[in-house]
Amino acid sequence: MTLEKVITYTHEILETGHVQVRRITKIMEDGKELSRANHRHVVSPGDDITNEEESTKRLVVAMQTPAVIDTYMAYVNLLKANDKTRQELATIEADTIITNANTQATAILLEAKTTKTEVATALKVASKDSVIDDAEKAVLWDKVKLFFSLKE
């Protein structure tokens, strides 16, 4: 009974210059396959290939010419620029939403004839016992009630 580990590689070349590598590892006993495992990875144009096996290195060097690498890197840089643009647009949109929300909140406060500080103070007072007397608490509660009734 002889056990043997056999490793083979298959490659697929994409039109983008990427090389898909599949390593097939078989465990053989007396010529019969006992088990098989597959591992896949992709070598992109411009990737470091020092740790690749020899057939993969030869294929990558032949297929990923400087022109292919330059084209791919230009594409990657374009994607990065587009991502940055999307992030900038999202930030502008978020800023606009926050500005509009603040404008609406300010309008509500003006309609309620109160200030943000008064509402914040009222909420603090409402959430805990305070040293202010019941009459002052009642005035603050009235402002809070008015503030929230105008929001609806």
- Per-residue model confidence as pLDDT tens digits over 34-68: 999 999 999 999 999 999 999 999 999 988 888 88
Q: Which of 33-42, 116-125, 134-143 has the highest mean pLDDT?
A: 33-42
Collapsing DSSP states into helix, strand and coil, what is residue 1?
Answer: coil
Q: Annotate 59-101 with DSSP letters as a single string.
A: HHHHHS-HHHHHHHHHHHHHHHHHHHHHHHHHHHHHHHHHHHH
Note the pTM of the prediction, 2 decimals. 0.52
More confidently predicted of 135 and 40 = 40
Cα R_g (the chain), whole angstroms:
34
Average pLDDT, rounded, for the chain: 79
Region 89-95 average pLDDT: 72
Give residue 82's pLDDT band: very low, low, confident or very high (50, 70, 90). confident
**pLDDT at residue 122 greater than cutoff 90:** no
| Cα-based angle 118, 152, 101 (whole degrees, multiple of 5) | 65
